[in-house]
Amino acid sequence: MLEGYDDPSDQRSLSLDDTSSTEESPGDSRLSLETSNDAIPYIGQRFVTHDAAYEFYSEFAKRCGFSIRRHRTEGKDGVGKGLTRRYFVCHRAGNTPIKASNETKPQRNRKSSRCGCQAYLRISKTMDMGVPEWRVTGFGNHHNHDLLEPNQVRFLPAYRTISETDKNRIFMFAKTGISVQQMMRLMELEKCVEPGYLPFTEKDVRNLLQSFRKVDQDEDSIDLLRMCKNIKDKDLNFRYEFTLDANNRLENIAWSYASSVQAYEVFGDAIVFDTTHRLTAFDLPLGIWVGVNNYGMPCFFGCVLLREENVRSFSWALKAFLGFMNRRAPRTILTDQNVCLKDAIAIEMPSTKHAHCIWMIVAKFPSWFNAVLGERYNEWKVEFFRLYILESIQDFEIGWREMVNSFGLHTNRHIANLFASRTLWALPYLRSHFFAGMTWTGQSKAINAFIQRFLSAQTRLAHFVEQVAVAVDFKDQAGEQQTMQQNLQNISLKTGAPMESHAATILTPYAFSKLQDELVIAAHYASFQMEEGRYLVRHHTKIDGGREVIWDPRDEVVTCSCLQFEFSGILCRHALRVLSTGNCFQIPDQYLPIRWCRVNALPTKLIQSTSEHAERVQHLQSMVSALITESAKTKERLDYASEEICALLSRIREQPISTQGTRDIAHKSRSR
């Protein structure tokens, strides 16, 4: 037996002796990629040190499509003749020993890459004129596994390195609070490399940051809980929940503000739960619940910090969130591709439609496909989005297979995973569910920018709740100013249709612009009555195809096979064309959802049932209307009014409220 042998798995599969040479192995082995002769190890090759031999063999392996590791030695430094022989082997040499199961300790179900490969290099120490040197005494270059292409081999752990300069850069980025994905993109730009071509991966950066601690988290956690209690003492409508572990240390904490609970009552039908961010300075997973209001602007619903990302933690977070929101679950929820989160939603929100957020998926494309597809990456991305927006499930699945064949992606695991989860992200499978337009590109950018405001400054953990409150308050004030500016804009009618002018008085400018686009395009469509109440609608230049629209004028019910209203809450061009053909001069009330209406367009009975309250609300609306008219006359007046109104709103929010009236509004809006 050789001394220094410490890997029983390798002993079973690798048997090397002094007679080993470069003779070929049996025919079922695979030869490494060809290289120039002077770069191939050979028997008798000399090196000054064993480290020099390792570096040479490592470079050779990288060119061939594999990596190496140090295997075993003979002798020991400082004992007898010292170290006399070393073995370097392919990273897939040996077989993983079977571990004894331990029921009390969870096992990581990871597949081993070892497959008993016999490729190796053996060096022995000799003396030449009294000077020690290392010579190659054994070399085998035959592999029983596929070798990697140059654009794949760099992802092997042996070739993924983070230099000291890059480490310092990453630590600096961590202090600013930006995400790991953003760090990667910035460093790619700085180094002028294509996305996915850095010598390390996002996982490597996360592992590095995990060992990087700048604060005492236990002490900071105590301060965080104290901060939440102080906020609760000042504002009874502030809500927070937390858990402690067996050692009485903070494990999870979630919180929400009074304004968030109010906003959720009306706009909580479709939400995003973004768990892709971390407080990098503390290495804590961060979850943020957001939605979209009637003016198309992001609204904050809640935040959660978790110690672990598992089903138990996510279930606790969702329970806490539902508790904040009076046990009312959203109709739909968008998340990242997280299996644990998917399972938790199925448990805690069984009636909610869960889908994967397309912009979170697309953000991973550069690291997934840029290196694999090379120059065809942009071409592939265009084809992906073409498939993504299709309406027919059959067309999507046929097109997907053609795309895989065209780009040679049959064995790509990311493509396989995307197709396996297609019902969670591809629009053909989701159009019958309401998502408030949060799958639109413009909306995703606004939500991302909103979330980044929370992450822009990370000083101490205890201050993070305050930082989020400041960001939300700033967004509320900015949103109110934008809302006022939208309402002051003169809406330009483009079609002259009575339906257009009617909708302009009901919908917010954001929602009306979406409907107006459909109204303009509807004029280019022809409708054909197939039978009573059934129509076929298609573009006037087409001779076949089209969408089926069903219109019941008695009950004022209209549906279209494109499902746009069900998906976005905005009527489609096909339905609008049929309404116009049927001499409908106003869009039926149920197709002007309250979540897209102006506040002053809401029926008074939805705000409160008492006539006295209704009169006061109408009087307030009259004053607001007069305020807008007078303020719009000059820039100075508008600036002054905006400043005073923001201050007034801040004081109003400090007043205690009852959410019962708002619940009635939300309930009736969802039943319409």
Cβ distance 366 to 195 under 8 Å? yes
At CA 255, angle to CA 173 and CA 234, rounded to 5? 110
From 260, 320, 323, 325, select the one nearest 290 (Cα to Cα): 260
Query: Parallel, antiparallel, or unpaired: how do β-strands 525-531 and 68-74 relate?
Result: unpaired
Q: Which residue has the higher pLDDT, 622 or 575?
A: 575
From 412, 390, 435, select the one nearest 420 (Cα to Cα): 412
Indicate the average pLDDT of the chain: 80
From 479, 455, 179, select the one nearest 303 (Cα to Cα): 455
| pLDDT, average across residues 268-278 | 90
Cβ distance 310 to 341 under 8 Å? no
Query: Which runs of consecutive H residues, i.e. helices, occur in 252-392?
Result: 258-267, 311-324, 339-348, 358-362, 365, 371-373, 377-388
For residue range 556-572, list pLDDT tens digits in order. 999 999 999 999 999 99
Share of the chain above pLDDT 90, in %: 41
For residue range 198-238, list pLDDT tens digits in order. 888 888 888 887 665 544 455 667 777 888 888 888 888 88
Which range in 186-200, 236-250, 260-274, 614-628 is most confidently predicted, on average pLDDT? 260-274
192: alpha, beta or left? (left if phi > 0; alpha if psi -120 to 50): left
- Strand, coil or helix: what is 549? strand
pLDDT at residue number 6 = 39
- Strand, coil or helix: what is 529? strand
Share of the chain above pLDDT 70, in %: 76
* Rounded distance between C-alpha atoms, residue 631 and residue 644, angstroms: 11
pLDDT at residue number 160 = 84
pLDDT at residue number 25 = 37
For residue range 5-57, list pLDDT tens digits in order. 333 334 434 444 443 444 433 333 344 444 445 578 999 999 999 899 999 99
For residue range 467-515, list pLDDT tens digits in order. 677 667 655 555 555 555 555 566 788 988 899 999 998 999 999 999 9
Provide the token pair at 94: 């040996």
Cβ distance 297 to 446 under 8 Å? yes
Q: Which residue has the higher pLDDT, 313 or 652?
A: 313
Question: Is the model's pLDDT at 117 over the cut of 70?
Answer: yes
Q: Which residue has the higher pLDDT, 315 or 641?
A: 315
Structural element, H or E, at residue 614: helix 611-631
| pLDDT, average across residues 447-468 | 67
Q: Which residue has the higher pLDDT, 276 or 106?
A: 276
Cβ distance 270 to 291 under 8 Å? yes
